[in-house]
Amino acid sequence: MPFDYPPNVNFLDLWREKLFLGQEFLSWLWLTSEMDSRFPGPNGSTIEVRFEKKLTLETGQGLSRSQVACQNPDNDWTEGFVALGLGKKIVKAQLTIRAEGLECSLALPADTLGPQSVKIATSSEVVDDEGPLGQAGRFLNKVALLVSLKAIIDHLFLSFLKVRLAEDWPTNELTKLKEFLEPWLLSQEPS
Amino acid sequence: MGLFKGNPTLNRYRLLDSPEDLTDEFIRDRLTRNSFVDIENTAEESSLGWVEIMSPLATGFDPAAWRFGGFLAFQARLDTRRLSAKTLNRYYLIKEAEIIAQTGRKPNSHKKKEMMESLRQDLMRRSLLNTDLLEVLWFLGEREIWIGGAGEKKRLIFEDLWERTFGLPVRLLVPITLGLEMLPKKSAETLFNARARFLMGDEDD
């Protein structure tokens, strides 16, 4: 049975009110991937997720809203971990995803989870023909890869929703995430 | 960046009603009726309509050009031209100087309005068009639509043309709408009522 939206629900209001969902998802995905980059995929497969290069975090609301961009040039996320631990929210992340038959890097915004600037690793099956048939072949190939990517993002998001809505979320998963961040937060305290 | 060229970006929509008569004739008819109309040699400010996915110049809409097995693909094309008030005023002042030289008087307000409109039409016709293309993929089985782009402007272009063409209601897929349709009803209700609760400085459920 699909969910019945209550009458008078305004889509834009609902979207605004629940923006935290995508932010929490990206935060969960990031910290969990830092602990172990391999996530269980569909049908016993494995999805490897790594956060790369750049994260955009945000704090405050309305006029007091400010953003901070964290770079990861030497695999050092200290600034990002501290910002997250202090309550900033991830609004956009740059990540790589590896799964069976797919390897790509992309930006993922928290507000839509619509993949952006997707760079798909080229395969040997790329069609070289510059004519209309080759053009159509490349198009279909790209669509097929994007369909796979969409399925992976959906799978990861559903995995997050299941743990996020579990009754033991505060005592189990959330505690694990907080414990992961603790050393970075402690390292920032004046000695 | 769209879907086809370069590094794709996409936003997703869910079709809320399942259309009954989704024949090739129906789709072709709707696409043709709302196809892109060229405004190259006109003074029109903008034109929005469908073109074929493989060619922004083609509006024949033979089904082979948009039906790809389980999905349909076409592009929304938006041509726009802009004329700044500053440019219009500059040309008006030149014209006005000519009239003053001929008559010794400034044009009255009625004449000024006429001259402005005539200049606007002329300059618009001479200004270059900017073309935006937005790829649209319609996955029939999943009732899902992808647009090749992000941001409010692209979404509004799509929603406007989609509504005008097919009149079928769609909902943007964002974390909350996606989550509500992924989960069983009971969990979806919990999600609908969930509030932020993550790390520090958050509210309680």
Percent of chain B exceeding pLDDT 70 equals 95
For the segment B63-80, the average pLDDT, to the nearest whole number, is 94
**3-state SS assignment for residue B130:** strand
3-state helix, strand, coil in chain B (%, to 5): 40, 20, 40
Residue B100 has a pLDDT of 92
Q: Could you give the ipTM of this predicted complex?
A: 0.89
**C-alpha to C-alpha distance for A77 and A50, rounded to whole angstroms:** 12
For residue A109, the distance in angstroms to the closest alpha carbon of chain B comes to 10
At A129, the pLDDT band (50, 70, 90 cuts) reads: low
For residues A85 and A184, is the Cβ–Cβ distance under 8 A? yes
What is the amino acid identity at position A58? E
For the segment B40-67, the average pLDDT, to the nearest whole number, is 93
Residue B204 has a pLDDT of 46
Q: Is the pLDDT of residue A103 over 50?
A: yes
For the segment A62-67, the average pLDDT, to the nearest whole number, is 73
For the segment B12-28, the average pLDDT, to the nearest whole number, is 87
Q: Is the pLDDT of residue A65 over 50?
A: yes
Residue A135 has a pLDDT of 77
Residue A62 has a pLDDT of 66
Contact residues for A105 (Cβ-Cβ < 8 A; gap 6+): A52, A94, A95, A96, A97, A118, A119
For the segment A85-95, the average pLDDT, to the nearest whole number, is 88
For residue B55, the distance in angstroms to the closest alpha carbon of chain A comes to 10
Q: Is the pLDDT of residue A152 over 60?
A: yes
Residue B199 has a pLDDT of 63
Q: Does A121 touch chain B (CB under 8 A)?
A: no
At B179, the pLDDT band (50, 70, 90 cuts) reads: very high
Q: Does B189 touch chain A (CB under 8 A)?
A: yes
Residue A109 has a pLDDT of 96
Q: Which of B4, B11, B183 sits opposite A112 (nearest CB)?
A: B11
Report the Cα–Cα distance between both ends of chain B, in Å, rounded.
Answer: 39
Q: Does B199 touch chain A (CB under 8 A)?
A: yes
**3-state SS assignment for residue B162:** helix
The verdict on a CB contact (< 8 Å) between A143 and B68 is yes
What A161-170 contacts at long range (C-beta under 8 Å, 24+ apart), as own/partner pairs, is: A161/B179, A161/B182, A161/B183, A161/B187, A161/B191, A163/A28, A164/A24, A164/A25, A164/A28, A164/B194, A165/B183, A165/B187, A165/B190, A165/B191, A165/B194, A169/B197, A170/B197
Contact residues for B179 (Cβ-Cβ < 8 A; gap 6+): A21, A157, A161, B188, B191
Residue B13 has a pLDDT of 97
Chain B hits for A111, Cβ within 8 Å: 174-175
**C-alpha to C-alpha distance for A94 and A107, rounded to whole angstroms:** 4
pLDDT tens for A11-54 read 999 999 999 999 999 999 999 998 888 999 988 899 999 998 78
Residue B201 has a pLDDT of 45
Pairing of β A66-71 and β A102-109: unpaired
Chain B hits for A146, Cβ within 8 Å: 3, 8, 10, 146
For the segment B66-86, the average pLDDT, to the nearest whole number, is 93
Residue A78 DSSP class: H
pLDDT tens for B77-99 read 999 999 999 999 999 999 999 99
Lowest mean pLDDT among B3-12, B114-123, B145-154: B3-12
Chain A hits for B196, Cβ within 8 Å: 20, 24
Q: Return the higher-pLDDT residue of A12 and A80.
A: A12
Residue A127 has a pLDDT of 57
Q: Does A1 touch chain B (CB under 8 A)?
A: yes
Q: Is the dihedral of CA B173, A106, A179, A71 positive or negative?
A: negative
Phi and psi of B165, rounded to 5°? Answer: -85, -50
The verdict on a CB contact (< 8 Å) between B8 and A115 is yes
At B22, the pLDDT band (50, 70, 90 cuts) reads: confident
Residue A37 DSSP class: S
At B184, the pLDDT band (50, 70, 90 cuts) reads: very high
Q: Is the pLDDT of residue A157 over 90?
A: yes
Q: Return the higher-pLDDT residue of A61 and B9.
A: B9
For residue A3, the distance in angstroms to the closest alpha carbon of chain B comes to 5
Residue B205 has a pLDDT of 43
Q: Return the higher-pLDDT residue of A65 and A25.
A: A25
